[in-house]
Amino acid sequence: MKILVIHGPNLNLLGTREPDVYGSATLDDINQKILELSRELGMEAETFQSNSEGSIVDAIQKKTYDMLIINPAAYTHTSVAIRDAISAVGRPAIEVHISNIHKREDFRRTSYIAGVATGQISGLGVEGYLLAVRAGKKILNG
């Protein structure tokens, strides 16, 4: 079982970017926790971060994974291309957001990804990623 975790634009700035919204954990901290939990659960995980929509679409289309966990960040609210890529590959996908997008600005409350995702986790901080990994194992085990 292999999980691909994609982090979208500006998530490379975690730890210093708006810590009151996103917390103090860095992207490296998050990735380490994901990789550690995946190993504990007998799964393989790969993490990827890009500020480029096309690179994210390319990563999704490679289909080198059984399950996708994605925090599309700002692309959540704008990217039909990422939505279409998720839909096209036919793999289960969990959308994750560190902050609660439904309690923020109006434009952040709309997710283009939610309609093609297996589920969405929003507002639980770094723990949301770990919950997604655990959910991914259950989904893949049927």
Residue 102 has pLDDT above 80, yes or no: yes
- Predicted confidence at residue 129, as pLDDT, reads 98
Lookup result for tokens 């723990």: 127
- Predicted confidence at residue 61, as pLDDT, reads 98
Structure tokens at 39: 């190993």
Residues 6+ apart with CB under 8 A from 14: 22, 23, 25, 26, 27, 29, 30, 98
Q: Which H helix or E strand runs over 122?
A: strand 119-122
Banded pLDDT at 96 (limits 50, 70, 90): very high
pTM of the model: 0.94
Phi, psi of 140 (to 5 degrees): -70, -30
Segment among 37-41, 45-49, 107-111, 133-137 with least mean pLDDT = 107-111
Catalytic residues: 22, 97
CA proximity to 109, closest of 119, 117, 118, 99: 99
- Sketch out the chain's domains with CATH numbers: 2-141 (3.40.50.9100)
